[in-house]
Structure 1
């Protein structure tokens, strides 16, 4: 019995030893070189771990950039710049006169033309600067004064324009343009009587000044003096039959004196001369719907123009009479002074 138990114990001991060896092999495993290898722990997470990547650096090839050379402005002659102005290429004229005046800073005429080109291109600020610069170089440059006054009128500064025009008339008392611009400035200020006087002065000096006659008529139209406007405008279109504005104004005078069909013809002529003349188109559309009275006698533009010419003669006579009165008064002053003090009369005469 005891021997049987001993045998069983030994059996169990052997089995236990075999089991221990088997477990050891399972835990540590055997490699080809009989060295034990550690078991790599296995993560239980389901997240996939991406391997770290090194950013790729792309080196762009160096391309030689072309070197842009800025050309020096080429010298510009006055004739070339003036030619652009005469061709009505005002933007180009501004560019050319900018170069010209930089090269010829002391040339007043160059700055004057620069101002004209700037005004025509719509740059009143540059025009004013240019005319002022011309006058700094030549204070007696009447054309610069006149065109500076135009800029001031267009810029809504008629009072400043009048100051300049007084200066122009001191230098050239017979400038019809100065009186015409004076009339414009006064008209803009609402001084209608003074404007009419200024326009008459301009017309007496230059009886063919169609623009002064038109401007005079415009004051009459605004004052609802349509008969006076009609006589003036009849003379205007006799002098210049190529200005759309003149025919539009004539149409207004005709329409308001009952000459509806002739007004229609005048508006039509204005549109034929300037297809983009919107005011004339509006006026034409209105007058086409108006009936004319049957007893209206057509206006005779030739006869009306003659009436206006006679008016000019009367203004001229009035002006001469006023001058004679001034001279007569001056002669009396000189005579009285000469009787008492010959030295004073000489000073007055020199003055």
Structure 2
């Protein structure tokens, strides 16, 4: 009887913890990020190596503006899984938002080393290079992103912006128009300003 009670307690604890992970996923999908953080934290207290829960908790932290906590989760993922491209890209995005462009290039470089066909990694590298004034490198990175994903509207938009800086207006306008055809909202303003 004693073993049956112990087995029941273990099963109940496991079920509760598993439920926390499922609840966290549901809350995350519903945009209830603060509640998702609580559910994931509960689950991670007994499953600290569960990468999906760490990632979604990190994304939830981002959504509520707790970027330091998000960074900790993404770095923990890289410790557990050094080839987790999503964690590198999330760190790159946070670094970009913090205007730490050299860090963006480190994280995107790691991501590209893992998967050279990551359009998002090339795009984020281009954004950082663009901000740092490395226009030729930015152009190459945007080209790479577009080669990998022909429907990457933002890459066309920002490639067009680099071309404006290089006074290649006709080609820039082609990019802006293509970005517009891919429903990039900012493309209209770029067309109005540069394509008369």
TM-score normalised by length of structure 2: 0.82
Shift in Å, 1:206: 1.0
CA contact (8 A) 1:114 1:130 kept: no
Contact 2:25/2:36 (CA < 8 Å) preserved in 1? no
**Separation in 2, partners of 1:283, 1:259:** 14
In structure 2, C-alpha distance between the alignment counterparts of 1:269 and 1:133, rounded to whole Å: 46
Alignment map for 1:198-347 (pairs within 5 Å): 198-274=107-183, 277-289=184-196
Q: Give me the CA root mean square deviation.
A: 2.0
Change (3 A) 1:282 1:197: same
Pick the aligned partner of 2:30 from 118, 141, 154.
Answer: 118
Q: 1:158, 1:188 within 8 Å by CA — same for their partners in 2?
A: no
Say if 2:17 is the partner of 1:106.
yes
Question: Cα deviations across residues 166-198 of structure 1 (Å, max 9, x unaligned)?
Answer: 211111112121111122222233322122111
The answer for the alignment partner of 1:169 in structure 2 is 78
Gaps of 5+ in 2: 1-14
Higher helix share: 2
TM-score (norm. length: structure 1): 0.48
Q: Is the 8 A contact 1:118 1:127 kept in 2?
A: no
Q: Deviation of residue 137 (structure 1)?
A: 4.7
Give the SS at the match of 1:138. coil
Mapped to 1, the partners of 2:164 and 2:39 lie a distance apart of 44
* Distance across 2 between alignment mates of 1:141 and 1:230: 38
Which residue number corresponds to residue 6 of structure 2? none
Answer yes or no: is the 8 Å Cα contact 1:180–1:212 preserved in 2.
yes
1:104-140 CA-partner distances (Å, limit 9, x unpaired): 6432552343144123xxx332333343344235221
Partner Cα separation in structure 2 for residue 138 and residue 213 of structure 1: 33
Aligned 8 A contact 1:247 1:270 in 2: yes
1:135 matched residue in structure 2: 44
Larger RCO (CA within 8 A; separation ≥ 6) = 2
Aligned positions, number: 181
| Aligned residues of 1:149 and 1:165 also touching (Cα < 8 A) | yes
